[in-house]
Amino acid sequence: MAIFVPIIFFFIALVIANSIGVTGEIKESKAYYEEMLNLPPTYKYITTHDPFDWEKTWYVWMGYFVFCCIFEYKLFADKNKKGD
């Protein structure tokens, strides 16, 4: 349980970070036949998904780390403490 729960939540955090870490840019695409025919260039909007783009997804990974620390602490806490 100490291994499988953090792994499961890692994949959940990975999906969330993948949806947040999206970068889009417009690139000019000019093929060889377009140059030969003097056609205007075409433009493509390209999106890239980077779940490890720390500038955008740091709070997802920090939340995952805090959750794992709290989960492991609660899992391994000594439940048989006796009062003084």
Q: Can you spell out the DSSP letters for 28-75?
A: EE--HHHHHTTPPPEEEEEEEE-TT-HHHHHHHHHHHHHHHHHHHHHH
Q: How does pLDDT run along the chain (84 residues), one tens digit per residue?
A: 889 999 999 999 999 999 998 888 888 777 777 677 777 777 888 888 999 999 999 999 999 999 999 999 999 987 776 655
Domain extents for the chain? 4-70
Q: Which pTM does this prediction carry?
A: 0.72
